[in-house]
Structure 1
Amino acid sequence: MPASPETTAINPALPHNGVPHSRSEDVYAIIVGCVMIALGLAMLRAAGLVTGGIAGVALLVSYLVPLPTGVLFTLINIPFFLFARAAMGSRFMWRTIAVNGGIALFSTMARYGFRIVEAHPAFAAVAGGTVIGMGILALARHDAGVGGTGVVTLWLQRTRGWNAGRTQIAIDLAILAASFAVVAPVQVAWSALSAAAISGILIAWHRPGRYTGY
C-alpha cells in the first residue's frame, strides 16, 4: 500500500529558496483545498466507499450517522488537533483547525447544493481519491493539513521511534478491515483503490525539488 496521504502531507520538506506565499495566497489555497476534499468525499460517499486515514473513518461513520461527512470529519479530528501542535507547532495546528472548519462548511454546502444521483465505484475511487489528493497537496504547499491519524504517526515516530509510514499503513488496514462490517467486500476493494489514488498524487508531486514556493 502506498504511503499515507496524511503522513506525507504533514511533512512538507519544501525548499526555502523561492518566493514566499502571501497571506491571500495561503487563504485562497486553503479554500481550494477544502473545496476539493469536500467534493472528493461526496464522490466516495455517493459510491458507498471508504478510504484510509481520518477521511475513511468519517466516511465509515457517515453510513451510520445522519450527518454530512465533512462535519463528521471535523468532529472526529478534534482530539488530533493537540497532536498537530505537538508534531508541527501552533501555526500548523491553527491552520489545521481552519481547514477542518472549511471542510465541514463546504461538505454541508455540497450536501444541500447538489446531489450525485449515481457514481460507479471505479470512477468514484479514482476520481474522488485524486481530487482529495490534490486538495491535500494544495494545503500542504501552504503549510496546512487535514490533521488526523497522520499527525499521531509522526508524533509516535518522533517520541518512540516508530516508523510513521508503517504505522499509518497499519492504521489504514485496520480502517479498511473495520469497513467490512458496514460496506460490502467489493466496496472495500474499491476503497483501497481510492486510498492508493490519494497517495499517488502526493507521491508524484509532493517532493522536494518539484516546488520552489513556501
Structure 2
Amino acid sequence: MSHPAPPAVHPHSTQEDALALFTGVLLISVGVAFFTSAGLLTGGTAGLAFLAHYATGISFGKLFFVFNLPFYWLAWRKMGRNFTYKTFAAVLLLSVLTELQARFLQFSHLQPLYAAVAGGLILGTGFLVLFRHRCSLGGVGVLALYLQDRYGWRAGKVQMGVDCGIVLLALFTVEPLRVAWSVIGAVALNLVLAMNHRPGRYTAV
C-alpha cells in the first residue's frame, strides 16, 4: 500500500519574514510595557544584565552587550547567517519601539498579577512568531532554539528554566512579592512556547 506523499514545504518569503519580524517584535514591545508599568522583572540576558548592574554598578548597556556576545557567536556558527541577521534586526527594532512606545501606550493603573499573566502571554506569542520565522532576540532565545534543534529539548522549557532562575536571583535585590509576580509572568510566557513550539509540530524554513 502506497503512502501519500508529504505536503510540499514552501520557504517563507522575504516579505513574510519581514512582516513576521515586525509583528513579533511589536507584540513583545507591548508585553515589555505591561511588565515595566507594573514594576515586574524580566528573564533572559536582559534580566541577568539588570541584576549584575544592581550588584556591581557597571552600566546595563555594557553588561548586556558582553552577555550577548557568546550567544551571537553561537547564532552565527550554529544557526546560520540569515538567523543571525534577522536577530540583529529584531533587537534593533525592539530598541526603537521601546524608546518610542511611551508616546503611544500608557497605563494609569495595571494590577501586577494581571500584568504578569497578560504580559507574559503577549510576550510568548511575540517570541513564537519570531521563532517560527527563524529569528530571536538574542541571548537565551538563541541557546533555546539551538538546544531544540540539536537535542530535541523544547525551547519553551529551556527558556522557562533559565528565566525563572534569573528572576529568582532578584530576591537579593527586590521585594519577594514582585519576584513572585515576575515568576508567574515568566511561566505564562514560556508556556506559550512549550505548547506551541516543539520538534515535529512546526518546521520553519
TM range (shorter): 0.7 to 0.9
Residues 192 and 38 of structure 1: is their aligned pair in 2 closer, same or farther, counting only changes over 3 Å? Answer: same
The one-letter code sitting in structure 2 at the alignment partner of 1:24 is Q
Matched, 1:50 2:50: no
Mapped to 2, the partners of 1:122 and 1:129 lie a distance apart of 10
Deviations 1:105-131 (A, max 9, x none): 111111333322321111111111111
The one-letter code sitting in structure 1 at the alignment partner of 2:25 is C
Residues 212 and 149 of structure 1: is their aligned pair in 2 closer, same or farther, counting only changes over 3 Å? Answer: closer
- Contact kept? 1:19, 1:213, Cα under 8 Å: no
Q: Percent identity at matched positions?
A: 35
Q: 1:115 aligned to 106, 111, 117, which one?
A: 106
Q: Which has the larger radius of gyration?
A: 2
Q: 2:115 aligned to 118, 124, 139, which one?
A: 124
The one-letter code sitting in structure 2 at the alignment partner of 1:35 is L
Counterpart of 1:99? Answer: 90
The one-letter code sitting in structure 2 at the alignment partner of 1:189 is A
* Structure 2 segments unaligned to the other structure (5+ residues): 1-5
- Contact kept? 2:23, 2:126, Cα under 8 Å: yes
The one-letter code sitting in structure 2 at the alignment partner of 1:30 is L
TM alignment of 1:31-110, pairs within 5 A? 31-57=22-48, 75=65, 78-79=68-69, 80-110=71-101
Counterpart of 1:180? Answer: 171
Residues 73 and 144 of structure 1: is their aligned pair in 2 closer, same or farther, counting only changes over 3 Å? Answer: farther
Name whichever of 198-207 and 125-134 sits farther off.
198-207
4+ residue runs of structure 1 moved beyond 4 angstroms?
Answer: 58-65, 71-78, 152-159, 163-170, 208-213
Mapped to 1, the partners of 2:107 and 2:49 lie a distance apart of 18
Mapped to 2, the partners of 1:107 and 1:81 lie a distance apart of 22
User: Please, what TM-score do these two structures have when normalized by structure 1?
Assistant: 0.73
Residues 40 and 203 of structure 1: is their aligned pair in 2 closer, same or farther, counting only changes over 3 Å? Answer: same
Name whichever of 95-104 and 18-27 sits farther off.
18-27
Q: State the superposition RMSD in angstroms.
A: 3.7
Matched, 1:29 2:56: no
User: Please, what TM-score do these two structures have when normalized by structure 2?
Assistant: 0.76
Matched, 1:148 2:121: no
Residues 17 and 197 of structure 1: is their aligned pair in 2 closer, same or farther, counting only changes over 3 Å? Answer: farther
Mapped to 1, the partners of 2:36 and 2:122 lie a distance apart of 13
